[in-house]
Structure 1
Amino acid sequence: MSRSPARIAHDQAVDTLRAQLVGQPDGSPIRLAKPTSNLFRFREPPPANALDVSAFAGVIDVDGQTADVGGMTTYEHLADATLAHGLMPHVVPQLKTITLGGAVAGLGIESSSYRNGMPHESVLEMEILTPDGDVVVARPDGEHAELFRGFPNSYGTLGYALRLRIELQETKPYVALRHVRFADAAACAKGIEQACADETVDFVDGTVFAGDELYLTLGTFTDHAPAVSDYTGQRIYYRSIRDRTTDHLTVRDYLWRWDTDWFWCSEALGAQHPVIRRLWPRRYLRSDVYRRIVAFDRRHQLYARAAKLLRQPAREAVIQDVEVPVARLAEFLDFFDTEIGIRPVWLCPVRLRDTAGWPLYPMEPGRLFVNVGFWATVPLRPGQSDGTHNRLIESKVTELGGHKSLYSDSYFNEDEFWSRYDGETYRKLKETYDPKGRLPDLYAKCVGNQ
C-alpha cells in the first residue's frame, strides 16, 4: 500500500526517536521534552537529553470515522482537525492541552463518558515505543494484546504511544444545554441515572455549588441554534449554570467550555475579577497558562512564603478526581462537605463500554460511576500534616468501592497501591516491556513522584 506524505514523515520521526533513545547510556533516566503537562505531580524540568517528541504532535490521517493521530497531539488540535470533517473523538477531555497519548496512558473523562467510556476505549491500535527502543503495535488481539489492555493508567512507565488509531463520531454544529437544579445529592444521583438512560441526551455533567444547590447540565447535538453564547472572553461559563436554564454553544465552544477558566480555578489567580479580566489578554485565558503560573508558584513557594509572613495557616492542595458508584454519590458528597468543604465540585458520570475491562484501573464494566472533581486548597488545623485531607479522601473512596485517578498526589502505601491498581498484571507487563527498569514503576512515579 502507498503511504501518504504524513505517514512517511511519521515513520521517519519514529526512526529518529528510536536512535535518540538507543543512543542514551544505560541507566540514564528517560524523560520526554514536552512543552505542556496536565499532571499535578510537579517535577523538575526535563534534562537536556530528554527525548524530542515534537514530531508526534499532529493528525496523520482522517479516513471515514477513524483517525491516525500522533501521540503528542493535543485535543485542541485533534478536535479542530476532526471537526473540519464533521467528526470528533468519542471523548474529548475538558482541557485543551491534554494530549491523546497522555489521556490514554493516564485517564480522561468528559460529559460523553457515561455512554462512550474513557478515551482509551475508542482506540483501535497503538504504536508504542518501549524503554529498550523497540516499537510495537498493540491491538485488542495479537502478540501485544496484554500491553494494549495494560497501557491505560500506566502513566508512561511502560513506554510512550507514538501513534494511535481511534474511532470518531459524527457531530452537529451546535449543542443545546439544559441546566436542571436539584435540592439534594440523593435527588441529583437519581437524576444522573435517569439522564444517562435517556437516548435523546448526548452529554451529561454536573456542578455542585452547595449541599442544596446541585445542577445537571444535559447537552444535545442540534443543527440549529436561536443564538449562541460566548464564554471565551468576559463571560464565565460556570456562573451561567446558575443564571439560566437553557443555552446554546457551538460544538467547539462546548468542548472547551471549561478550559477558559480552568473550570472555576482561574478565580484564585485573579482572572475572574472584572478589572483584571478586561486587562488579561483573551489568548491567555487558557488552562495551560494558569497551570504554568501554579507551577512557577510551586517551584518558588511564593504563596506559602507570603502566607507564613502573614501568619496564615498552612494549606494542603486537594486536587483530585475520583469515581464512586452512583448509588454512593450522596454518601461521598456528605462526607466531602463535612471533612473537606471545597466548592464548587464537578460531577461527571462514566461507564466503561468495553466488557473486557482494563486491569490497571479495574472499574466494573457496564456499572455507572460518577467522577467527582475538586481542585483547591484546604487549611490545615493545628496538628494536621500535609496530606491529611487527601488520605481521608483516598480511604473514603476505597470504602465506597470507588477509584482514584493518579494525575495528582497520591498517598497510598505500596501494598495498598498495588492491591488497587493490579500489581500482579503490572509487574508482568513491566518485566516484558521494560526488563532493565529504565522507566520508574507506576508506584514510584505516581506516589514517589520520580
Structure 2
Amino acid sequence: MSEHSQAVAALRDQYAAIPAGSPVRLAKPTSNLFRFRDAQAGGLDVARFDRVLSVDRDARTAQVQGMTTYENLVDATLPHGLMPLVVPQLKTITLGGAVAGLGIESSSFRNGLPHESVRELEVMTGDGEVVVVEPGDDLFRGFPNSYGTLGYALRLEIELEPVSRYVRLRHVPFGSAAECAEVISAVCADRSYQGEPVDFVDGTVFSAGEQYLTLADWVDEAPFTSDYTGNGIYYRSVQRERVDYLTARDYLWRWDTDWFWCSRAFGAQRPLIRRLWPKKYLRSDVYRRIVAWDRRTGFSGKLSKAVQEPVIQDVEIPVARLAEFLDYFHREVGIEPVWLCPLRLRGADAWPLYPMDPGELYVNVGFWSTVDLRPGEEMGSRNRSIEAKVTELGGHKSLYSDSYYGEEEFWEHYNGGIYQELKKRYDADGRLPDLYAKCVLRR
C-alpha cells in the first residue's frame, strides 16, 4: 500500500503539470473499446497501477489497482481458492475498465455486474483530486458507465467468492428462441436444471433453429478435462458435446482463445493456420490489435467488393422480449453466431447512468461482425436500427463501441440530469470529455 500511495502522489504531480484548461486523458497500451481514435502523444502514465495489492482469504476480499487486468487478478486469487464474483470474458479487460464501463459473464444472473461487488473505490476525479468513495456516495453510484469521463479508478476493494477445481458444462440445445428464453427464466429463478445445480449460464445462437444454453456448475472431481487453449475451439464444442469439463481457470478464459468466434476472420480457425499460429498469440488482445491496424489502414475494405458496416454491440433485452429481438435480428441483421448471457442486478437500487430495473431479468445479446450494406443504405443504418429496436423492447445498450443516438435521446437513456450534476461536482472545468462526446461524437 505504501508503493500505491507513492504511485498516487506521482500521478497527482503529473496532473498538476498539465497546463490549465488542457484536456486530460490516460496513456494506455491496450484497450478493449471499439471506439477507435488516432494515437495521441502524452497522457497520464498509469502503468504503476496494474497490481493486486492484497488478497484476504478469510474476508474474501481483494485490494486491486485500477489498471490490473482480470488475467492477473484471477492468477492472484485462484491460489487462495477464490475468484471475483464476475470475471469478464477477455483477459486484458481491466478491473477499473469493467467498473467504469460494464462487464458481464455467466455468473451475472446471480452476481450482477462487476461494479456491484465493489466495496470501496479510490478515484482521481477530472478535477485532479483523489477521493475514496463507498456505497451510498454519489460518485460511487454514478461511476459505472461513466467511461472515464468523471475520473479514473486507482484502487478498488472487491468481494471474492469460493471456487472448486473444475467446472462441469452441459450444452442444452433448443430449436426456438422462445423455448430457450423460457428455460433461461426458469433456470435463473431456480438456479438449477433438471434437478441439478447451475452456477453459470450463457448461450450461443448459431441460427434461428439452433441455439444452446451452457449450464455449468462447480465440481471437485472431473472424469476428464478438455483443452481449448490450442487446437481445440471452444464454441464448436458447444454444438458437438453435451457434457464437458474444464479446470476453473480454463472455464473463466474459455472465450478468450478465439475471442468468442471472431478469430475466424483472421484465419486462425483453419487447421493448417491453427497449427502454425503460436499458442501464446491465440488471445483476444492480439486479434484486437489486428482489427485496430485494419481500421487504420482500411486493408480489408480494399479487398471487399461490398461496402461493410461494423456491427459490434452488446445489448440487454428483458428476457420476456428476447425471442422478439432475436427474430428481428435474424431477419434484419443476420450476424451469426450470437452470444447470450442472462443478468439481474444484485441489489434493490438502480445504477443511475445505466438504469436497469433491479427486479428484471435481462439477457445480454452480443454480436461482433460486419454486414454488407444494401444498395442505397447509409453507413450506420443497421446500428441505428438496432438502437431503435432495443429502445422499443425496453432494453439498454452498452457504450464500448459505436453509438448513433442524437444528444437528447442519449441523455434520456443514460440519465443526463444526474450525470451533469456529477460532472459539475467532479470535473467542473471539463478537463475530461463528457459521456456523449466520448461515446457518440468520439472526440
TM category, shorter: over 0.9
Aligned to 1:147: 139
Question: Quick check: 1:269 aligned with 2:266?
Answer: yes
Find the residue that maps to 2:122 and give its secondary structure: strand
Question: Quick check: 1:331 aligned with 2:331?
Answer: no
User: Take 2:173 and 2:251, find their aligned partners in 1: how far apart are those partners?
Assistant: 20
User: Take 1:112 and 1:382, find their aligned partners in 2: how far apart are those partners?
Assistant: 42
Which structure 2 residues correspond to residues 24-173 of structure 1 after superposition, within 5 A? Answer: 24-47=18-41, 49-63=42-56, 64-141=59-136, 145-173=137-165
One-letter amino acid of the counterpart of residue 164, structure 2: K
Deviation per residue, 1:97-132 (Å, 9 max, x gap): 000000000000100000000000000010000122
User: Take 1:164 and 1:209, find their aligned partners in 2: how far apart are those partners?
Assistant: 38
Aligned to 2:15: 21
Question: Quick check: 1:203 aligned with 2:196?
Answer: no
Contact 1:32 1:46 in 2 (8 A): no
Find the residue that maps to 2:302 and give its secondary structure: helix
Aligned to 1:3: none
User: Take 2:344 and 2:47, find their aligned partners in 1: how far apart are those partners?
Assistant: 33
Aligned to 2:371: 378
Find the residue that maps to 1:195 and give its secondary structure: helix
User: Take 2:46 and 2:293, find their aligned partners in 1: how far apart are those partners?
Assistant: 24
Deviation at 1:30, TM superposition (A): 1.5
Aligned to 2:239: 242
Find the residue that maps to 1:55 and give its secondary structure: coil
Q: 1:319 aligns with which of 312, 315, 319?
A: 312
User: Take 2:395 and 2:132, find their aligned partners in 1: how far apart are those partners?
Assistant: 32
Superposition CA RMSD, Å: 0.7
Which structure 2 residues correspond to residues 407-426 of structure 1 after superposition, within 5 A? Answer: 407-426=400-419
Contact 1:94 1:256 in 2 (8 A): yes
Find the residue that maps to 1:254 and give its secondary structure: helix
Question: Quick check: 1:302 aligned with 2:294?
Answer: no
Deviation at 1:355, TM superposition (A): 1.0
Report how many residues are paired: 436
User: Take 2:80 and 2:39, find their aligned partners in 1: how far apart are those partners?
Assistant: 37
Find the residue that maps to 1:197 and give its secondary structure: helix
Find the residue that maps to 1:419 and give its secondary structure: helix
Deviation at 1:239, TM superposition (A): 0.1
Deviation at 1:29, TM superposition (A): 2.2
Find the residue that maps to 1:84 and give its secondary structure: helix
Deviation at 1:46, TM superposition (A): 3.4
* Alignment TM-score, normalising by the size of structure 1: 0.96
Which structure 2 residues correspond to residues 345-364 of structure 1 after superposition, within 5 A? Answer: 345-364=338-357
User: Take 1:149 and 1:294, find their aligned partners in 2: how far apart are those partners?
Assistant: 34
Q: 1:341 aligns with which of 324, 327, 334?
A: 334
Question: Quick check: 1:280 aligned with 2:277?
Answer: yes
Aligned to 1:190: 182
Find the residue that maps to 2:239 and give its secondary structure: helix
Structure 2: runs of 5 or more not aligned: 192-196
One-letter amino acid of the counterpart of residue 119, structure 2: L
User: Take 2:334 and 2:359, find their aligned partners in 1: how far apart are those partners?
Assistant: 31
Deviation above 2 Å: which 4+ runs of structure 1?
Answer: none
One-letter amino acid of the counterpart of residue 125, structure 1: E
Deviation at 1:197, TM superposition (A): 2.1
Contact 1:33 1:51 in 2 (8 A): yes
Deviation at 1:291, TM superposition (A): 0.1
Deviation per residue, 1:133-188 (Å, 9 max, x gap): 100001013xxx01000000000000000000000000001000000000100000
Deviation per residue, 1:400-449 (Å, 9 max, x gap): 00000000000000000000000000000000000000001000000011
Contact 1:179 1:244 in 2 (8 A): yes
